[in-house]
Amino acid sequence: MLSAPVINGEIKELYDLLQNDKPFMLARYNDGEFIAITNWDYIYNCSADKSCGNIDGSKYYLELGKVLRDAILSDENKILSNSKKYIFQSKLEHYKNYHNNKFNLNVDSLKNIKFNVPTIISDFTDTIYSNPLLFSNIIDNLNSKNLIVIGPNYLKKFKPLIVKKYIEIPLTDCFTFKDKIIQLITEEINNGEKLCFLFMASMTTNYIIEKMKNQVIDKHFMIDFGSAFDNFFSNKTFPHIRRRIYNEEFIKNNYPSNYWIE
């Protein structure tokens, strides 16, 4: 594995846990989760459960919002987070300023977001453009584990990942598949191996982490990777209808050739 500098203390802490094979759960709470928690879509200015959904096309269900809200208010989760077993990432202040200043959106609903658990600002996905060598190291580290990916079918095209098993989910609105995901993860856990579950399942990821934490704690990894791998897919074959943001030239110049998917 190549060596690389770590860009900040938060990412170093996550990286050290991963490298030292110390299981942890990482849940990322940002714009979609905020809308689900408050049940108010400040982008479309309507009740979240009446909204057309987030940028992935995933709807905001009341059950989803309640579980996510309870998770960030939980005293138990506060203890787990302080012990680095259940880590919460959020850029709440960034989203308040970004949507208000750039798009002149009314983000008053975000004032109702209260975290009882400690949060970090940075996570693995922040290294894609800031530290490509470190991101490559993270992939190498994940590949050294019994890796199970929970995500849409197109992710199978990302060849740098060495995956023990894929749990395939719908491309959009995967919350409707949540019970099946939990069932399939439980079956894998019951096999007795130490596993690393890597999620690309939108807001449903954090619902599942919260629901399964007691089965996972100290035994397995559960990592919310968001849409990190989307940065390596060309618009030519990318199946989403959502707006794509990536830097093709940067990816091609700073990563091995097999990282870019046309």
The pLDDT tens digits for 184-211 are 999 999 999 999 999 999 999 999 999 9
CA–CA separation, 83 vs 78, rounded Å? 9
Residues contacting 17, CB < 8 A, separation 6+ = 24, 84
Considering the domain boundaries, does residue 3 fall inside one? no
In 3-state terms, what secondary structure has residue 190?
coil
Element (H, E) at 136: helix 132-143
Q: Which is more confident, 105 or 83? A: 83
Is the pLDDT reported for residue 246 higher than 70?
Answer: no
Considering the domain boundaries, does residue 114 fall inside one? yes
Is the pLDDT reported for residue 7 higher than 70?
Answer: no
Considering the domain boundaries, does residue 101 fall inside one? yes
Task: Give the mean pLDDT of 179-187.
Answer: 98
Is the pLDDT reported for residue 2 higher than 50?
Answer: no
pTM (whole model) above 0.85: yes
Q: Which is more confident, 238 or 143? A: 143
**Is 212 within 8 Å of 181 (Cβ atoms)?**
no
> What is the percent of the chain where pLDDT is above 90?
71
Is the pLDDT reported for residue 18 higher than 50?
Answer: yes
Considering the domain boundaries, does residue 4 fall inside one? no
70: containing domain: 9-259
Give residue-wise pLDDT tens across range 96-149.
776 666 667 788 888 889 999 999 999 999 899 989 999 999 999 999 999 999
Looking at the 3D structure of the chain, how many domains does it have?
Answer: 1
Task: Give the mean pLDDT of 31-51.
Answer: 92
Q: For residue 245, what pLDDT is reported?
A: 58
Residue 19, exposed/middle/buried by CB under 10 A (0-12, 13-18, 19+)?
middle
Considering the domain boundaries, does residue 41 fall inside one? yes
